[in-house]
Amino acid sequence: MNRPPMKSIKGRFRKFTKTVLKWAMFGVVFVFFIVSILQIVFVYVVSKGPGRDDIALFHGNRYAISTSESNYELYERKTSRVILPNVTAYYVGKEKSYIMNHSELVIIDEKHGTYVRKPLAEATPDEIAMIEQMKQLRKK
**107-123 pLDDT tens trace:** 999 999 999 999 999 99
pLDDT of residue 120: 92
Q: How far apart are CA 31 and CA 83, in angstroms?
A: 43
Q: How confident is the model at residue 54 (pLDDT cuts 50, 70, 90)?
A: confident
In the chain, the percentage of residues whose pLDDT exceeds 70 is: 88
Q: Rounded mean pLDDT of 19-38?
A: 92
User: Which pLDDT does position 3 carry in this prediction?
Assistant: 62
Average pLDDT over residues 64-87: 88
Separation between Cα atoms, residue 136 and residue 32, nearest integer Å: 49
Characterize 15-35 residue by residue with b for buried, 16 or more Cβ atoms within 10 angstroms of its Cβ, and e for exposed. Answer: eeeeeeeeeeeeeeeeeeeee
Mean pLDDT of the chain: 86
Residue 123 one-letter amino acid: A
Banded model confidence at residue 9, pLDDT cuts 50, 70, 90? confident
